[in-house]
Amino acid sequence: MLFVLSAPSGTGKTTVAERLLRMCSNLKRVITATTRPRREGETHGVDYIFLDKEGFEKRILEGYFLEYALVYGNYYGTPKEQVLENEKKGYDSLLVIDVQGARKVKDAYQDTTLLFLMPPSLEELRRRLTTRGYGLENLENRVKKASEEIACARYFDYIVVNDFLDKAVEALHTIILAQRFRRERFMRDPKIKDGRMIELLRQGQCEAFR
């Protein structure tokens, strides 16, 4: 399965994603490729795959990305091969991407669960962005962008408010566990070894629901 986590800048999605990856077995993050400059403390291949603009656009033409978008003047994209490799090894994938990418992934893979992390209020989001040191113009642009992204939340499968970090992480953890036990997934890959039970599950006559 693919789990997509989207949120406005400043909502805490990176911290939440890191906590989820520690809590959820068989869940691996797909490392996003980007053309934005590397920040202090970031590691290539761990935080992001850092590419120059020419290299990124070359990969677009090669079909390297599952999805990509231009955000704040920089490209961001999800490498398709990481998703396929996780699937091959039996892992679910976690994609931490914006709402544009979320829509594209959902269109390409129906077995995708969209998770939206909501700030408790625009005022609180503004406060969090201010502590990051954004200038006034940049701050207002990000608040405006956040408003546009929040309007997209109603198209996601689940919405979780990040007012308290532990509470938000626990809610998302519960959602991921529940999705793993959905009927459709169990029917594809029953977690039982009894052949007769599998036959009954898939082909047996159920009078109660006829």
Please say if the pLDDT value at position 64 is more than 90. yes
Is residue 208 domain-resident? no
Mean pLDDT of the residues in the chain = 91
User: How many distinct structural domains can be found in the chain?
Assistant: 1
The tokens of 114 are what? Answer: 């969209």
Residue 136: predicted pLDDT:
67
| Residues 174, 67: Cα–Cα separation, whole Å | 27
pTM here?
Answer: 0.87
Boundaries of domain holding 19: 2-203
Contact 162, 16 (CB under 8 A): yes
Residue 135: predicted pLDDT:
65
pLDDT band at 167 (very low <50, low <70, confident <90, very high): very high
Percent of the chain with pLDDT over 90: 63
Is residue 190 domain-resident? yes
| Each residue's pLDDT tens digit, 120-150 | 998 988 888 887 766 666 788 888 889 999 9
Is residue 164 domain-resident? yes
- Report the CATH number that the domain containing residue 105 is assigned in CATH: 3.40.50.300
Contact 41, 192 (CB under 8 A): no
Is residue 48 domain-resident? yes
pLDDT band at 68 (very low <50, low <70, confident <90, very high): very high
Contact 145, 7 (CB under 8 A): no
